[in-house]
Structure 1
Amino acid sequence: MSDESVRSMVLGDVEVIRVVEWRGPFGPARGLVPGAGAGLWEDNREWLVPDHWDPDDGSALMALQSWVLRSGGLTVLVDTGVGDGRERPDAPLFHRRRDGFLGSLARAGVRPEDVDVVVNTHLHADHVGWNTRPGDAPGTWVPAFPNARYLLPAADDAHFGPDNAYGGGRRTQDRLVYEDSVAPVRREGLAVLWDGEHRIDGNLTLESAPGHTPGSSVLRLESGGDRAVFVGDLVHSPVQLLDPSHGSCFCVDPAGAEASRRRILGRAADRRELVVPAHFGGAGAAEVREEGGGFALKGWAEWTAR
């Protein structure tokens, strides 16, 4: 029997493996995307239900997931989810979870020591949790992927780190996240801080897309005739494709996030890049086309069972 939490596709010479940590109701949809009125959800009920919106209680339906890319001999892990046993008192969904994500990675054929590169698209709790695992001493954390380079956006490290260089926009939870999921990687010398653009190999390039956080980024894949862009939290819900002016409630700089969203989605439409957000349920990724002042769904991704 196939594992519903693990699916794959091949883009050019790159295998893409989707690993789902959790999926379900996240919270009120109109709280997640405050600018999207009731009409936008209702008018698109036909394709938002059942994977992205529950009209009965108004919940946004989402996934917590990571992506494994096998490219040019490298095993690249994009975002590392929430993590097990984390103290997240301000986020009940994330608080002291036990999802066994490493077991899902194993079913995808990936052992922790096999990972060469970890990409954190940004440093929010649900993107860095499995950067680390419990250490031998109680209350300590050590890198979960001991042979990996961890690629961290420099602007996010400055913002969420102890100096809070950018000022403002930091919650109590962010200090806990940095201490258990980022600082241990820094101490072990495994972190690479980057800004602007960072090439991983001939197929994969990181690019800054600030707004959601100061260092929010996207990962571009180009191999053969295939293209994709892993957009992190550039969009949380498909309604933001329809109207890119709508940011999420978690954006530090809403205007900057909108500018990044329009730029990245516009290029995706022009170049036929598969858009792969961090939290879409259902097919998890889509092609888009420009329509009016926003974008329209062109087609959902197709995955193969592993």
Structure 2
Amino acid sequence: MNQPVLPATSPDAGPAPTWTVGDFVVHRVDEMTLPPQTGGWLLPDATPTVVSRTPWLRPDFAAADGTLRLATHTFAVEANGLRVLVDTGIGNGKPRANPAWHDLETAYLQRLTAAGFAPESVDLVVLTHLHTDHVGWNTRSRNGAWVPTFPHARYLTSRAEWDHWAAADMDDNRRQMFHDSVHPVSEAGLLDLIDVPEAGAEVVPGLRLLPTPGHTPGQVAVELRSAGRSAVITGDCVHHPVQLAHPGIGSCVDTDPDRAARTRRALLAALAGTETLLLGTHFPPPTAGLVVPEGDGYRLEPVPGAEGP
């Protein structure tokens, strides 16, 4: 996402909420609460009138006036002895055209460390797609250079995603993002490109990348399975719970809006009525829930996280 909006706010420091998925533990690590203008820009068809017809969105996911609430955070997963990070947010100290994201100074790394994921301990970083607010903490500044934040981790993204951007005619802002947040990881030899077939690709036991194209050509969601339980981390296949009630509502930055809508409908249909936990990459607290059929769409039945360490 790249939008001209007012500065975002950093959440108060506090314990990271957690969800247990079989033997896995999922931590939400907060970075930013996005400005209230974000929702109207990002999801222009989610008007206050539409939101008013979806009362279950209030008060957690929308304000009384219909303004959507959005956040940016990452998910840190303890899985079979590995420490896995799904997406890396916006990052600190980076030049960005969007004033909400420019030259940030947040306590994200402190929160990540407090959750038990010190940067040097992270084994795997999964990048659902290569947008600015999903790759920023790939790197941090050291002695005037951008270096990998997680020096012992392998960074994964789909080959289709990499190939798309490698061939794209990028503007200056996106080139800057690749310069400071993507290329240093590749140049350090830490980036792995994964072929993701229609059935998905298991990258470690119990963690599978699911193809969710449309927002970007190579975007993936992340499925977790352990001890008979399951969860799906959305990436930007679903930006906000309003899209459960109205799956046709798309993002203004979808590269292929029709495909994005088809992908979203297919994912929600597969999850509806099951016990699979949906974890929204931009969903504000309570962030997670079960997909329940309702009318012509769905609603999110919230499953708040437990208080983490």
Residue equivalent to 1:117: 124
Matches of residues 74-223 of structure 1 in structure 2 within 5 Å? 74-89=82-97, 91-136=98-143, 138=144, 140-161=145-166, 163-164=167-168, 170-196=170-196, 197-223=200-226
Question: CA offsets per residue over residues 213-268 of structure 1, 9 Å max, x none?
Answer: 11111000111121100011111111100011111112111011111111111111
Question: CA offsets per residue over residues 132-165 of structure 1, 9 Å max, x none?
Answer: 11132x2x2111101101001222222223x32x
TM-score computed with the length of structure 2 as normaliser:
0.89
Say whether the 8 Å CA contact 1:212–1:234 is kept in structure 2.
yes
For the residue of structure 1 that corresponds to 2:37, the secondary structure is strand
CA distance in structure 2 between the aligned counterparts of 1:193 and 1:243, rounded to whole angstroms = 33
1:10 correspondence with 2:20? yes
CA distance in structure 2 between the aligned counterparts of 1:294 and 1:48, rounded to whole angstroms = 14
Say whether the 8 Å CA contact 2:214–2:254 is kept in structure 1.
yes
Equivalent residue in structure 2 for 1:34, among 38, 44, 62: 44
Question: CA offsets per residue over residues 176-230 of structure 1, 9 Å max, x none?
Answer: 1111111011111111111323312221111111000111110001111211000
Matches of residues 248-267 of structure 1 in structure 2 within 5 Å? 248-267=251-270
Say whether the 8 Å CA contact 1:287–1:301 is kept in structure 2.
no
Question: CA offsets per residue over residues 77-108 of structure 1, 9 Å max, x none?
Answer: 0111100011111x111111110211111111
Say whether the 8 Å CA contact 1:209–1:216 is kept in structure 2.
yes
For the residue of structure 2 that corresponds to 1:205, the secondary structure is strand
Question: CA offsets per residue over residues 250-303 of structure 1, 9 Å max, x none?
Answer: 211101111111111111115421111111102111101223432122333332
Residue equivalent to 1:20: 30
Q: Report deviation, 1:35.
A: 2.2
Which amino acid counterpart does residue 53 of structure 2 have in structure 1? D
Residue equivalent to 1:43: 53
Which ranges of structure 2 fall in alignment gaps of 5 or more residues?
1-11
Which amino acid counterpart does residue 34 of structure 1 have in structure 2? P
Say whether the 8 Å CA contact 1:29–1:53 is kept in structure 2.
no
Say which is worse superposed, 121-130 or 197-206, in terms of deviation: 197-206
Any runs of at least 4 consecutive aligned residues in structure 1 with deviations exceeding 4 A, and if so which? none
> Percentage identity across aligned positions?
39
Residue equivalent to 2:230: 227
Q: Report deviation, 1:28.
A: 4.9
Residue equivalent to 1:73: 81
1:243 correspondence with 2:240? no
CA distance in structure 1 between the aligned counterparts of 2:238 and 2:251, rounded to whole angstroms = 8
CA distance in structure 1 between the aligned counterparts of 2:201 and 2:264, rounded to whole angstroms = 19
Which amino acid counterpart does residue 91 of structure 2 have in structure 1? G
RMSD: 1.9
For the residue of structure 1 that corresponds to 2:185, the secondary structure is helix
Higher strand share: 1
For the residue of structure 1 that corresponds to 2:302, the secondary structure is strand
Q: Report deviation, 1:129.
A: 0.3
Say which is worse superposed, 193-202 or 2-11, in terms of deviation: 2-11
Q: Report deviation, 1:55.
A: 3.7
Count residues in correspondence.
Answer: 295
For the residue of structure 2 that corresponds to 1:77, the secondary structure is strand
Q: Residues 103 and 282 (structure 1 numbering): CA distance in 2 closer, same or farther, change over 3 Å?
A: same
Which amino acid counterpart does residue 153 of structure 1 have in structure 2? S
